[in-house]
Chains A and B, each alone.
Chain A
Amino acid sequence: MIYLDANATEPLRPEARAAVLSALDQGGNPSSVHQAGRAARKVLEEARERVAEFANARPSDVIFCAGATEADALAVHAFGANRPILVGATEHAAIRAAAPCAITIPVRANGQADMVALERLLVVHPDALVCLMAANNETGVLHDIEIAGKLCSNAGALLHVDAAQAIGRANQNWLALGAASLAISGHKFGAPVGAGALITRPGLDIQPLIKGGGQELGRRGGTSALPAIAGMAVAIGAAYPSEQIATWRDEIEAFCCAHGALAIGATAPRLPNTTCLALPGVRAETQLIALDMAGICVSAGSACSSGKVAASHVLLAMGLEQLADQAIRVSLPWNAEASMVQKFQSAYANMASRLAKRDSIGLTTADHCKDPICLK
C-alpha cells in the first residue's frame, strides 16, 4: 500500500507514539487532587507549554480540545456571536458549517483569498470575525495571512486562522501576523487523532461550547485526552523534510501533467506536500477507485463521512466548474520515500492511459497550457 493521503491524516510519528504510550501507561486524571492527578496534570501543562511556545502564545491561551473542527466551532461560537462573520470561499466544512450564514470572501483564480475584496468587506463590516485557513486542504494553496492580519488589525476585526494543514509544513508566526486565534489538529502533523487546540492572543473572552466540569479554565469542559495531547505536544515541533517533499511533489505533478492532468492552484504559494490533479473527463471517484485497486491511497475533494465524493467547493470557488468533480488530491506524508513516488507515477500513467477522455468536455491540455493559473 502506498499512502499519499497525508492531508487526511499524517502517519503517526514514532516520538509521538512514545509519548502517547507513556501517557497511557501513566494514567491519571489531570483534574484529580491526588498524586496520580498531579502527575497527569504535569504532563498536560508541559504539553500546553510546548504548544504555546510553538505558536508564540501564552500557555494560558492554549485551549485543548478534540481537533480543529472543534477549535473552529469554538472560535466561531466565542468570537462570532455578536459580529458579522466573513469566511473564505474555500474554507473547510469545519468553518462553513459553524458559520452557515457567513458572508463569503471570494478567492482569486489561483485559490488565494482576494485581499482587495476582503478590504472592501471590512469597510462595511469593520468589526467582523474573519475566518481564513492558513493552507487549503484540497489544493495546499496558502492564503496571505500577513496581509489579512494587517487588514483585520487596521479595521478592528478579529482574524481566526484554521492552521490544521499548515502546522509543520508551512509554519508561520500567525499570531504575530495579526491572527486573533489559531485552530490546530494533532493528527495532521503526526500525532494521534483526538487532540487539537484553539490558541488565542491574550485578552479574548471565550465562552465555552461545552461547560462540563470547567476544565481548560472554564473554556472547554470534559476530561482532557491526555495521551493524544502528549503526542501532539511532541509532534508539533518535529522536523519536516520540506525541500525533499516539495521536490517529490513537483516530480509527481510534472509527471501527471505529462499524462494529461492539470495541476490546480500550482501557481500560488502552496504546502510542499500537496498537489490537486484534475484529469479532464474522468470522474474523481473513478480515479480514486482505479488507484485504490492499484494499492494507492489518495483522496478527492470533499469526501464526506460516508465516502461519497461530491464536486469540490474549492474548485468551484476557483471558477473551475468543469473540473470540480474530476480532481484528486495527492498529499505526501512526512515519511514519504522515493519508491512511493515511482509506484504512484506508474499507477497514474496506467490509469490515465486507460481512462483519459479529455475530449468529452472539450478541453485539451494544450488549451490549458495557455492558462497560467491552472497548469504548471
Chain B
Amino acid sequence: MSGGVDSSVVAGLMAREGHEVIGVTLQLYDHGNATSRKGACCAGQDIHDAKRVADKLGVAHYVIDSETRFKQSVMSVFADAYAQGQTPVPCIACNQHLKFGDLLEMARDLGADALATGHYVRRIEGAAGAELHKAVDESRDQSWFLFATTQEQLDYCRFPLGDFASKSEVRSLASEMGLVVAEKPDSQDICFVPTGSYAGVVQAFRPDALEEGEVVSEGGHVLGRHQGIARYTIGQAKRLPDKAAHMVVKSIEPATRRIIVGPRGAESRMIKLRDVNWLISPGELRATVKLRARDSLRASNIYPDGRDATLELDEPAIAAPGQAAVFYEGSRILGGGFIV
C-alpha cells in the first residue's frame, strides 16, 4: 500500500471479498521534510494516508523499512547503469527485488495465500498456469514494467485493477469506500526523483557519470563537449553541441566518456537481450515487441539463447541499452529481456 488510490482500492476490494487483509507499505527512501510533494510514492504523508485507509477498511497495516535494499538494488543500480552508458528502468528493478522479491517472500513467511498489488495488469488463469496480460485500460497498462515477473511469482500474485475500464472507475470506487485518497494525484515519473531531474541521484552515487567529456563523430572528429554521459541515451538529439545539430547519439563509451554521434538513423534490426524472463517455454517465435514503456508494438522474430536472446525486427528501430524489450502475443506477455 503506497498510500495512493490504486493500492488502497485493492486493499478495499480484498477486504470486501472477505479475505483477511494485511496491508504493507514499503518505506523505500526518506524524503526528509519534503513529504508533501504531490504525486510521489511512499514518503511520510503517503505512509500516513496508507494507515488512514487501513484504519477505514479495518485491516492491519505495517511499514517495512526497505531503504537499504532500495538504495542497493534500485538507486545504486540505476546510477551504475547510467555510468555504463545505459538508460535504466528503475521501476522494473523495484518490482523484481522489492515488490515481488522481499515483499512476496514476507507474505509467504506470514502464511498469506496471495500478494495483491495495485498494478494495472491482468493475471488470467490459463491452461498451463497463470498468464500475464495487459490491463483492459491500455492507457494505464503497466505490463511492460512487470515482464520480469517469474511464473512462480505470477502464480502467487493478484492484480485486481487490471480489469477496470478506467482510472476514474477506480477513483469512484475509492470514494464509494470512503477512502481519503480518492482524489489524490497519480504518482508520476520515477518516485525517488521528485524534481524530475535524475542527475541529482546519479551525482550522489556515480559522480563520474556526470563528468565532462567529448562529443565525437563516427569518424572520430571532436564536435564539442558534454556535461556527463548520464544525460544521454541512444537516439537522443537534445543537448548536443552546435556542430552536432541534426545528429543523434549513436553510442556511448563509458571508459573514455565519449558520446558518439551521427546522422539520424540510429535504428537497427538485430537487438541483443540479456536476463530474459520467459512466461512460456522458450523457443524461436514470432511476436510483437515493445522496446520502451510507451512504444508501439513491433513485429519481430525472437531467437532464445540460454539466458539471452536476439530480436530480429521486421523494421529497424532505436533500442537503448538498459531498457526492456517485452514480447507480446495480443494482450499476453510471453517474456522479455533487457536490451544490451
Contact = CB atoms under 8 A, between A and B. Distances in A.
A306 interface: yes
Which of B27, B63, B64, B109 is the most central at the interface, judged by chain A CB atoms within 10 Å of its CB?
A: B109
A312 to B, nearest CB: 12
B109 A306 contact: no
A308 B27 CA distance: 7
A354 B63 contact: no
Contacts of B47: 306-308
A286 B111 contact: no
Given A306-B27, A307-B51, A290 B63 contact: no
Interface in A252-290: 282-283, 285-286, 288-290
B65 interface: yes
B105 to A, nearest CB: 9
Interface residues on chain B, size class: 10 to 19
A290 B109 contact: yes
Contacts of B44: 306
Contact of A309 (B48, B60, B65, B106): B65
A283 B106 CA distance: 9
Contact of B48 (A286, A306, A354): A306
A354 B62 contact: no
Given A306-B47, A306-B48, A354-B109, A293 B60 contact: yes
Interface string B37-72: 000000010011001000000001111110000000
A354 B111 contact: yes
A282 B108 CA distance: 13
Contacts of A2: none
Interface in A279-323: 282-283, 285-286, 288-290, 292-293, 306-311
B110 interface: yes
Contact of B65 (A292, A310, A354): A310
A293 B22 contact: yes
Contact of B62 (A289, A310, A311): A289
A307 B60 contact: no
A310 B63 CA distance: 10
A373 interface: no
A355 interface: yes
A283 B110 CA distance: 12
Interface residues on chain A, size class: 10 to 19
Contacts of A290: 109-110
B60 A292 contact: yes
A325 B110 CA distance: 17
A307 B62 contact: yes
Contacts of B64: 285, 308-309
A355 B27 CA distance: 22
Contacts of A285: 62, 64-65, 106
Contacts of B62: 285, 288-289, 307
A59 B59 CA distance: 48
A361 to B, nearest CB: 15
A306 B110 contact: no
A308 B65 contact: yes
A324 to B, nearest CB: 11
B144 to A, nearest CB: 31
Which of A282, A290, A308, A310 is the most central at the interface, judged by chain B CB atoms within 10 Å of its CB?
A: A308
Contacts of B61: 307
A286 B110 CA distance: 7
Given A306-B27, A354-B111, A286 B106 contact: yes
Nearest to A307: B63
Which of A282, A283, A288, A354 is the most central at the interface, judged by chain B CB atoms within 10 Å of its CB?
A: A283
Contacts of A286: 106, 109-110
Contacts of A306: 27, 44, 47-48, 51, 63
B22 A308 contact: no
B332 to A, nearest CB: 34
Interface string B193-232: 0000000000000000000000000000000000000000
A289 B110 contact: yes
A352 B111 CA distance: 13
Nearest to A325: B65
Contacts of A311: 65
B235 to A, nearest CB: 41
A81 to B, nearest CB: 26
A285 B102 CA distance: 12
Nearest to A309: B65
Contacts of B63: 306-309
Given A289-B22, A309-B65, A355 B109 contact: yes
B103 to A, nearest CB: 11
B64 to A, nearest CB: 5
B110 A293 contact: yes
Contacts of A282: 109
A187 B321 CA distance: 58
A362 B44 CA distance: 35
Interface in B122-142: none
Contacts of A325: 65
Which of A289, A309, A311, A354 is the most central at the interface, judged by chain B CB atoms within 10 Å of its CB?
A: A289
A293 B112 CA distance: 11
Which of B48, B61, B62 is the most central at the interface, judged by chain A CB atoms within 10 Å of its CB?
A: B62
A293 to B, nearest CB: 7
A293 B61 CA distance: 11
Interface in B16-41: 22, 27
5 contacts: A286-B110, A308-B64, A309-B65, A354-B109, A354-B111
Interface of B: 22, 27, 44, 47-48, 51, 60-65, 106, 109-111
Going nearest first, the 10 A-B pairs with the smallest beta carbon separation are A308-B63, A307-B63, A306-B47, A308-B27, A308-B65, A285-B64, A306-B63, A310-B65, A289-B62, A286-B109
Given A286-B106, A289-B22, A308-B64, 10 more contacts: A283-B106, A285-B62, A290-B110, A292-B60, A307-B62, A308-B27, A308-B47, A308-B63, A309-B63, A309-B65
